[in-house]
Amino acid sequence: MSVSASNVTKQFGGFTALNGVSLEAQEGEFLALLGPSGSGKTTLLRILAGLEFPDSGTISIGGEDMSNRAARDRQVGFVFQQYALFRHMSVADNIGFGLTVRPGKTRPARTEIKRRVAELLELVQLPHLGDRYPAQLSGGQRQRVALARALAVEPRILLLDEPFGALDAKVRKDLRRWLREVHDRTGLTSIFVTHDQDEALDLADRVVVMDHGSIEQIDTPEMLWERPATAFVCDFLGGANRVAARAIAGSTDGGDTIDVGGVRLPNRAPAMAAGSATAFIRPHEFEIAAPGSAGIPVTLRRMLRTGAHAALETATASGTIIEATIPAPPEGLVAGDALVLVPTAVRAYPEA
């Protein structure tokens, strides 16, 4: 089932949470809404669910306008960050709750509800825990129960708001692999909110990067990483170093070659006019050269060896800190040594 938002705007008092946002999730797609706190991603998810309503714009599900329809009419499964399980109910009763409260004519028979709950317990890999209560489960198990409950009502789409936000790093990593498997098995259109870049890039078919109520870029994880459309996206994904550079006009599209300290590289960002630029270079996109070589002259401040790699913290003459990760640093490097960092890839944008 496809889901779309068209020119959606939402304000809370004088604060604009969403500013003319438009997107579409295709049937069966796993779409991530990614951005820092306050970017509007949770507000957009709640509007898609019918838990909030837009000030303007439209929401469509399966081609049907749902902009003014209540959540119960949208057939949406919603998974909250804090599980929202009923503590006095068993796991099985929590999962089947949405079915038991349906109006009489649409409520399944008890045997059918029991069958459906057993099926979902198998799907979320908790087949023997139906009689337990939420307090007897780990955080990861509770989140699986919350997902099973959302799936029990056979939603047309699945929405997840920071589903792993309350869990530790290892459990998050294990559960996100499992969630992708569940998505692939059910075939539901799924949209989830996260502020974790690794989570979004690992799970989603496409990622919607948001900032200050607007969409910066919608693309596949590969394209977002390799070809970020804006300086914000580049900075938000990957922790790149910022370095002064210059765009050189080399085609009818404008400056497609970037000069960084005498090293010229093709720009992996959208073409820009010739002139001053800010280059973004990720730590692993450097090599070391001897003083006097083309590149960025720096002084080594400290070095940390991690297996076959070394993380270098360096500083330019002006005091700008540049971090580099080098596979095989020269022997005998010590703090205070002069080096030249040579970029191997660059993404540059007009100087702000």
117-146 pLDDT, tens digit each: 998 998 888 999 999 999 999 888 888 888
For residue 315, what pLDDT is reported?
A: 96
For residue 252, what pLDDT is reported?
A: 45
Q: What is the pLDDT of residues 191-202, one digit of tens each?
A: 999 988 988 999
Mean pLDDT, range 239-260, rounded to an integer: 80
Position 346 confidence tier, pLDDT thresholds 50, 70, 90: very high
Mean residue pLDDT of the chain comes to: 90
d(C-alpha 316, C-alpha 157), whole Å: 51
Contact present, 20 and 8 (Cβ < 8 Å): yes
Strands 286-289 and 275-281: unpaired
- Residue 181 confidence (pLDDT) above 90: no
Residues in the chain, overall count: 352
Domains and CATH numbers, the chain: 3-232 (3.40.50.300), 239-350 (2.40.50.140)
Question: Which residues does 193 contact at the CB level (< 8 Å), separation at least 6?
Answer: 32, 33, 41, 42, 45, 160, 161, 162
Q: Is the dihedral of CA 340, 344, 350, 352 positive or negative?
A: negative
Contact present, 295 and 307 (Cβ < 8 Å): no
d(C-alpha 80, C-alpha 163), whole Å: 6
Mean pLDDT, range 273-281, rounded to an integer: 93
Question: Which residues does 84 contact at the CB level (< 8 Å), separation at least 6?
Answer: 146
For residue 139, what pLDDT is reported?
A: 85
Give the residues across from 64 on adjacent strands.
61
Residue 349 CB neighbour total at 10 angstroms: 24
For residue 331, what pLDDT is reported?
A: 81
Position 254 confidence tier, pLDDT thresholds 50, 70, 90: very low
